[in-house]
Chains A and B, each alone.
Chain A
Amino acid sequence: MIIQNTLVDIAYLIGAVSFVWGLRLLGSPDTARKGNTYAAFGMGLGILAVLLDPRIDGGGNYAWIGGGMVVGSLIGWLSAKKIQMTAMPQMVSIFNGLGGACAAILSIVELTTQDLDTGGMAISLFALLIGAIAFTGSMLAYLKLDGKLKDSQVTWPKHSIINQVLLLITIGFFIYLIVVGHTTGLLIGFLVLSLFYGWSFVAPIGGADMPVVISLLNSFTGISAAAAGLIYGSNFMLVGGILVGASGTILTVLMCQAMNRSLFNVLIGGFAASGGAAGADGDQVAKSTNAIDSAILLNYSSSVMFVPGYGLAVAQAQKALKELDDLLESNGVDVKYAIHPVAGRMPGHMNVLLAEADVPYPKLLDLDEANAAIPSTDVVVIVGANDVVNPAAIDDPSSSIYGMPVLNVWEAKHVIVMKRSMSTGYAGIQNQLFFHERTKMFFGDAKDSIQKLTAEVKNL
């Protein structure tokens, strides 16, 4: 049995190292896929080890374990394979929420069935709190990202104050339970409060900040897993959980930096409050254009740059765009894509969508490359993007997005904006670009518009 113990420990060790190595490889485009496989291998090894660990005594109950694993694997696998690439951020959010729920359930069982000392109780309650917050927070993030709930439907007046009060009550309750002890009733109360706080915590955080929140909630799930690792005395869980907690936190900060905002600013929901700077849109008239004129303009340009945004993703227009790209390229037009760091709903989301449509890697320009290339570009076509091309970020200090790096598309010779209507973007503010002298609006569904454009270019 000693040998088996050691073998199990070695398996855990290799598993933990695979996590670290996998995460490291995930940080570079060439090795990322291998990194994911390593991490998955580490997880598989860990699960195998815990199934075989001879030191855990009890009923065994392998039928229950097998049942849960088969059901979970099946659901996880199918949803990961079936999900549209555009809906991927939502999927990640759901997966993360379920991990949080798992941690919360374990803590409840631990607290109700085990005789814990103060330390064990504190850790269990902590895992319950963080897991529950990650669960409801992620679910709300999913509902918001999927468009099932609007920010305005879940935000209350003075929401940030409500949240601060709720946080204080929750912490107070937490300490009370540790000091005085818990009954089943109090525990249910604490669970409900934690779940509610998770919801309320995410509610005021709007639009473009959603990926930051998902990343933060991801690190929460990691921390709750680490806490559970302490409960069960598993170093493997501890290492995995802490790794995710730490890397999730760093990733959150990096994402905030990409938008030139502080985490604090994001969390109190800075976007929601802005009344929209002097947008005298009533007097201004945007020029609109049609498919034929745009087709001529594009076909006789020497360089065209597409700026894809979430509108492209929603309309599933990436393949249609690629078709237009091919057509223009065959007519001798140089076509590039400008990818803003927060284009789509998550950093890198747009790259994935375009890769799915077989757009070659060298055609994608990042923010700095794109801004350097824009002044020499004939036509910039904005497909369903808005806030990332808003000049207010540069010249209007009163705007809520002031300071966020944007694509300076107005420096190009012509700008065509494809959009459903004149409505505001995700940040909820008016865009002066639409009224710019070089801008023409092309109204309609992104996919529909692109297909019309392609048809017209073919006819030329």
Chain B
Amino acid sequence: MTQIMQFISDNLLLIYLLIFTVILGFEVISKVPTVLHTPLMSGANAISGVIIIGAIILIRRSAPDDIFSLALGTVAIALGMINVVGGFAVTDRMLEMFKKKKKS
């Protein structure tokens, strides 16, 4: 019990951040027209590529001779980057069409 209490008081700001972000995530999406579900999913998917930040941290702090970490980290960066660049690019391609038909 004391451990849990200790954990909560140590990480209070983190807990605030977590809860508020969850609420924000719910609120931001809840009134979206069906038409936009696919682009939205695709855009959110691109944002989940934020994992790339972790891969960069991993490589930056690894020793130059730690080939195991470097090799796996580089693969992780490449995969994450595909998710990020591909995700945003494909979302933009979808939304470009919405734009065009709006004008016509």
A90 to B78, CA, bound (A): 19
A76 to B25, CA, bound (A): 26
Query: Is the CB of A161 closer than 8 A to any CB of chain B?
Result: no
From B26, B34, B62, B92, give the contact of A247 (CB < 8 A): B26
Q: Cβ of B78: which chain A residues have Cβ within 8 Å of it? A: 68-69, 71-72, 75
A246 to B92, CA, bound (A): 22
Known: A77-B89, A106-B54, A245-B25. A43 touches B95 (CB 8 A): no
CB pair B57 A50 closer than 8 Å: yes
Known: A36-B91, A58-B62, A68-B73. A22 touches B38 (CB 8 A): no
**Residue from A72, A92, A348 having most chain B Cβ neighbours under 10 A:** A72
Q: Say which size band chain A's interface belongs to.
A: 35 or more
- Closest B residue to A255 using CB positions: B37
Q: Say which size band chain B's interface belongs to.
A: 35 or more
- Closest B residue to A79 using CB positions: B86
CB pair A43 B101 closer than 8 Å: no
- Closest B residue to A108 using CB positions: B72
Known: A88-B94, A113-B69. A46 touches B50 (CB 8 A): yes
A57 to B62, CA, bound (A): 9
Query: Is the CB of A296 closer than 8 A to any CB of chain B?
Result: no
Q: Cβ of B85: which chain A residues have Cβ within 8 Å of it? A: 72-73, 76-77, 80
Query: Is the CB of B5 closer than 8 A to any CB of chain A?
Result: no
From B58, B64, B86, B100, give the contact of A95 (CB < 8 A): B86
CB pair B44 A102 closer than 8 Å: no
- Closest B residue to A258 using CB positions: B34
- Chain B 61-72 interface mask (CB, 8 Å, partner A; 1/0): 111101011101
Q: Which of A46-73 contact B (CB under 8 A)?
A: 46-47, 50-51, 56-61, 64-65, 67-69, 71-73
Q: How far is the CB of B61 from chain A (nearest CB, A)?
A: 3
Given A67-B74, A80-B85, A80-B93; 13 other pairs, CB 8 A cutoff? A23-B43, A27-B32, A28-B36, A69-B81, A72-B81, A95-B90, A105-B72, A109-B76, A250-B30, A348-B39, A352-B38, A355-B97, A360-B104
- Which 6 pairs show the lowest CB-CB distances between chains A and B? A72-B81, A246-B25, A68-B77, A76-B86, A240-B50, A76-B85
- Residues of B near any A CB (own CB < 8 A): 14, 17-18, 21-26, 28-64, 66, 68-70, 72-102, 104
